[in-house]
């Protein structure tokens, strides 16, 4: 079970850090997606910091601070639930798999951290 926890959490860290980096660099797909769901571009840096904090928290969980890892995973679950809700509210379904995929990774990380 520990191996699954490490694998899922590492994938979640890499994916979340990657999308946070895309937020910080103002990647075109991030700006286009945020416009589609009605999110002001001024929110993107803050959302990037929240994602980055989640990735760092997951890493700390792997490095021996399990409660921080669990809290980070819970925070990412809530964050990506919000992203899915934003897509549904705006009726933007053509790319809902992306926040859904991040949500699935966060749920997996949370679940596996909780049973450690």
Residues 6+ positions from 18 with CB-CB distance below 8 Å: none
* CA pair distance 102, 16, nearest whole angstrom: 7
Low-confidence ranges of the chain (pLDDT < 70): none
Q: Using CA atoms, how far apart are residues 71 and 90, in angstroms rounded to an integer?
A: 29
């Amino acid at each position: 079970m520990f191996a699954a926890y490490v694998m899922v959490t590492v994938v979640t860290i890499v994916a979340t850090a990657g999308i946070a980096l895309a937020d910080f660099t103002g990647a075109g797909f991030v700006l286009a997606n945020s416009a589609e769901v009605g999110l002001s571009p001024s929110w993107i840096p803050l959302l990037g910091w929240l994602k980055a904090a989640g990735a760092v928290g997951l890493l700390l969980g792997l490095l021996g601070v399990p409660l921080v890892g669990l809290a980070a995973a819970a925070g990412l679950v809530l964050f990506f639930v919000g992203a899915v809700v934003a897509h549904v509210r705006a009726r933007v379904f053509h790319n809902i798999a992306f926040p859904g995929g991040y949500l699935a990774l966060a749920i997996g990380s949370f679940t596996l951290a909780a049973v450690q």
